[in-house]
Amino acid sequence: MTTLLFDSHSHIQMSQFDDDRDATIRRARDAGLVGQLVLGTDVASSISAIELATAEPDVYAAAGCHPHDAKDMDEASLDKLAQLAEDPHVAVVGEIGLDFYRNLSPHDVQIDILNRQLELAGRVSKPVALHGREAHQALFPFVEAWSRRMGGRLPDGRRLGVMHYFDGDLELGRRYADLGFFISIHCSVTYPNAGALSEVAAELPLDVLLVETDSPYGPPQAHRGERNEPAYLEEAVVKIAQLRGEKTERVAETTTANALRLLGVTGGAQPALEPAGAAEERSAP
């Protein structure tokens, strides 16, 4: 069994896990996960993600508003998100982006909320997790402009974020990577009809790849029809390794190291995301 995996995108704070959230986290550990990033989609789910990250040493939180929920944001909820983004357990601003497939919020509202959260991430110097579905033509220029304003990196040299559940082709993947983003390969790469995603997973340099389940959505092939959960991540890593002609361990270790670097933690089960004061306390005589 692989011993080092990191799920860069899950939503285990959602109600689908209300009956077995603790067991889900245990199964993830048993499956070799050293951590997972739990993403908010609105204020309430961002707060739940932070609560989980506070309680569990290998859970990291992202706070943000999903494009589906953009229509429900007002100034007060944007202020609240800005406050949450400062929380030391929040490693990432997300998930944010544009979704012109389901169109649950008007496009102009999605774009406004996206840009305000990109600015927020810049202010707090944290990376972003981006969602783009049938919207890359609109999304790319905003991301490119923000990348340019940021100088292509966070102030501490880290990459600017991750393109989650990437659904574009290899050329677009390269362009996002060049802007300073990781490309996250979702476990749908295991489907027989994975299409362009197979080429993206096979051809992009390993040092820009992350892997994710997007739990509870989109289980890998062996679990189609079930609720997805982080413990199923290894199937995707095995498939990516096959596509690349590399050892599973190498894909697992590198994508895990990439995720920990993005989050600004050094690795292992203990997060180094405490406020500066906590670190000082520890090193005091």
Nearer to Zn ion, 147 or 228 (CB): 228
Residues touching Zn ion: how many (CB under 5 A)? 1
Q: How far is the CB of 156 from Zn ion (least distance, A)?
A: 25
- Please, what is the minimum distance in Å from the beta carbon of residue 214 to Zn ion? 5
32 versus 132: smaller Cβ distance to Zn ion: 132
Site for Zn ion in 152-191 (CB under 5 A): none
Residue closer to Zn ion by CB (options 118, 243) is 118
What is the smallest separation between the CB atom of 201 and Zn ion, expressed in angstroms? 19
- Residue 62 or 241: the one with the smaller Cβ distance to Zn ion is 62
Burial of 118 (0-12, 13-18, 19+ CB in 10 A): buried
Q: Considering the complex, what minimum distance in angstroms separates the CB of residue 9 from Zn ion?
A: 6
Residues 59-98 that bind Zn ion (CB under 5 A): 95
Nearer to Zn ion, 42 or 95 (CB): 95
Find the shortest distance in angstroms from Cβ 167 to Zn ion.
Answer: 13
Interface with Zn ion (CB under 5 A): 95
